Amino acid sequence: MKLQLRDPLEPEVMRGVTAAVLRADIGSRVNFERDARIVRIENWLTVDETIDAIAREGYAIAAIVDVSNVTSMFHSKR
């Protein structure tokens, strides 16, 4: 999934978002496109669960850019 954050992607914001997502799903992959304020997340969570995890850390989502969540490339079957 791709989410656009309201906050500029300063290092402390990226660390906070990454920590929030990893607390919700330790196997997540998190990447950032700093100029566009986009965070790309691959995990087992729904979009709503991911947004809630980020919001609990104090960061707001401006827009949902892409809801697809590709996990099969790096997670083994449970």
Whole-angstrom distance, CA of residue 45 vs CA of residue 42: 9
Question: Edge to edge, what strands does the sheet with 29-33 contain?
Answer: 29-33, 38-42, 2-5, 61-66
The reported pLDDT for the residue numbered 78 is 44
Asked if residue 23 is part of any domain, the answer here is yes
Model confidence pLDDT, tens digit, residues 31-65? 999 999 999 999 999 999 999 999 999 999 999 99
The reported pLDDT for the residue numbered 77 is 46
Asked if residue 76 is part of any domain, the answer here is no
Asked if residue 77 is part of any domain, the answer here is no
Asked if residue 33 is part of any domain, the answer here is yes
Whole-angstrom distance, CA of residue 52 vs CA of residue 46: 10
Asked if residue 71 is part of any domain, the answer here is no
Residue 69: phi and psi, rounded to 5, are -135, 95
The reported pLDDT for the residue numbered 68 is 85
Please give the tally of structural domains in the chain. 1
Model confidence pLDDT, tens digit, residues 21-31? 999 999 999 99
Q: Which domain holds residue 26?
A: 2-66
The reported pLDDT for the residue numbered 70 is 60
CATH number of the domain bearing residue 22: 3.30.70.100
